[in-house]
Homo-oligomer: A and B are copies of this chain.
Amino acid sequence: MPLPKLSKLELQIMEVLWNNGPTAIRDIQESFGPKGRPAYTTVQTMVYRLETKKALRRARKIGNAHIFEAVVTRDAAKARLVDEFLSLFGGRMQPVMAQLIEAGNLSSKDVADAEKLLRELAAKKKREA
């Protein structure tokens, strides 16, 4: 599979790699903040599973510790996520947009940004047509 499915915690771990570059397990774990973070071996298990899924790989060693780096890109993973989500809405974009927009969590800036993106996209579509 070129694009393995990533669970929530797996995503959070990948997020660390995407943000920080190659990282050791200990540092991944500590990046979860001191409160309510998973145990070291929990993170370790997830990292191992991500390795099996080829979402990340061992880049090198420092001392006896492995340093892991992302193989899957953030964009690829997020695109996958969006697809998953869309499929729950029957793959139709419109109701998803509607739901998101009506969810009420949009700031004025979000609205403005979204409009800008949409206008750009519309222009691009026109050029391509």
The interface of chain A, by Cβ under 8 A from chain B, is: 8, 11, 78-79, 81-83, 85-89, 93-103, 105-115, 117-119, 121-122, 125
Least CB distance, A56 to chain B, in whole angstroms: 18
Known: A106-B93, A108-B122, A122-B108. A114 touches B101 (CB 8 A): yes
A98 to B113, CA, bound (A): 8
Q: With a CB–CB cut-off of 8 A, which chain B residues contact A82? A: 99-100, 103
- Say yes or no: A110-B94 contact (C-beta < 8 A), given A101-B117, A103-B82: yes
Q: Which residue of chain B has its CB nearest to the CB of A11? A: B88
A85 in contact with B85 (CB, 8 Å): yes
A94 to chain B, nearest CB (A): 5
Closest CB of chain B to A47's CB: distance in Å? 19
A-B contact pairs, 12 of them (CB 8 A): A78-B95, A79-B103, A82-B99, A85-B85, A97-B110, A97-B114, A98-B113, A101-B117, A101-B118, A102-B121, A106-B121, A114-B118
Contact call B99/A100, Cβ cutoff below 8 A: no
10 cross-chain pairs, A with B, having the tightest CB-CB distances, nearest first: A97-B114, A93-B110, A101-B117, A85-B85, A82-B103, A111-B122, A78-B99, A115-B118, A94-B110, A94-B113
